[in-house]
Amino acid sequence: MLGFLVKHFQILSSTLTRGLLSKPWALISEVGRNGLIKGSIDIVEQHFQIVCLKDFLQNPQLHGPKIQAMFQWYALPAAEPSLLHLLPSLKVIANGGVGIDHLDVPYLNSLGVKVANTPGVVSDATADIALGLLLASARNIVETFDPKTTCLPGQLMGVEVTGSTMGIIGMGNIGYKIAQRGKGFDMKILYHNRRRRSVEDEQAVGARYCECLDDLLKESDFVVLAFNLTPETTGLISHRELSLMRPTATLVNISRGLAVDQDALVEALQSGTIRTAALDVTEPEPLPRDHPLLSLLNVLITTHIGTNTYTTTRKILQMMVDNALAAVAGQAIPNEVKAE
């Protein structure tokens, strides 16, 4: 009996060892605070042997030649040449999220490294945070919280959301989800996009296309930025654009911090050019503690939490794994981002 158990244990141990050895290796930033979520790391570990950047850098020669995939979360590990040169077998960088403005795709492709992102799965959660910021800023939800208050803040008046006009700049998946939510508040929807959406899409949310961005800025009570950051959209909202907005208007940014000229935004908020701003993204992130935006009462800032739900996080990680597995196997990557 003992011999049978020993033999069974040896077989099981050998099987587990082969399973571990057969898994491809992947580099991550860390598990926890600034890295992959502890409650979701199992999705990656099912298919990859992972090594954290800190451990990797202690002995790059040990794991460097084995690593075939890099999982980026909040743009980390940073795909810098100094790191990439230590990864001669790297086949893919699987980015968590849609935006890849932090990656030099042509350069990576020249090294034989492909890039993939996770479109679609981030749309609902990101659209939710856009509407959350819009509502919170419109109705002064954060400002009215005071645990020491003894009277109702009757003088702290907000602005009406229902029936107002929302202008969305960038009508991709996320922008369209925002429009759907705006329709639920009987908002008038304007949008500006590189390409006009179909008549059916427009009618479904009651949206009107503004070919000229200036028209959208002039007519909107809430201007929502939901576009990808590119060289053309960097600094898209600056002094001129802010001056076209209504003095009662709110700027909501769930795009990227660099989409807005922050110095111009500070000036517009201080001078009353616009009413308020609600930002899930800034440049840098987080802002320095002495940044003027943090001292303004008419600014609401969250810390890039657009996709931060357990459901969405797990969906993102699963898509990252699917992209990486395809690349490692030499198959077509479902969500490859190619150089333009």
Q: What pLDDT digit, counting tens, does each position of 230-242 carry?
A: 999 999 999 999 9
Catalytic residue among 285, 291, 314, 336: 285
Rounded to two decimals, the pTM is 0.87
pLDDT digits (tens, 9 = 90+) for 161-193: 999 999 999 999 999 999 999 999 999 999 999
* Catalytic choice (63, 181, 256, 275): 256
334, 323 contact by CB (below 8 A): yes
Tokens describing residue 211 = 């070919």
Q: Is 256 a catalytic residue?
A: yes
Superfamily (CATH) of domain 21-120+310-337 = NAD(P)-binding Rossmann-like Domain (3.40.50.720)
145 vs 203, more confident: 203
Can you give the pLDDT at residue 173? 95
The CATH 3.40.50.720 domain(s) of the chain lie at 21-120+310-337, 123-142+159-301
Residue 131 reports pLDDT greater than 60? yes
- Residue 3 pLDDT greater than 70, yes or no: no
Instruction: Give the mean pLDDT of 94-114.
Output: 95
Residue 47 catalytic? Answer: no
Would the pLDDT of 13 be above 80? no
Rounded to whole angstroms, the Cα distance separating 96 from 230 reads: 18
Whether residue 77 is preceded by a cis peptide bond, meaning omega within 30 degrees of 0, is yes
Q: Which residue has the tokens 């790297």?
A: 90
Domain 123-142+159-301 bears CATH identifier 3.40.50.170: no
Q: What is the mean pLDDT of the chain?
A: 92
- The verdict on whether 202 is a catalytic residue reads no
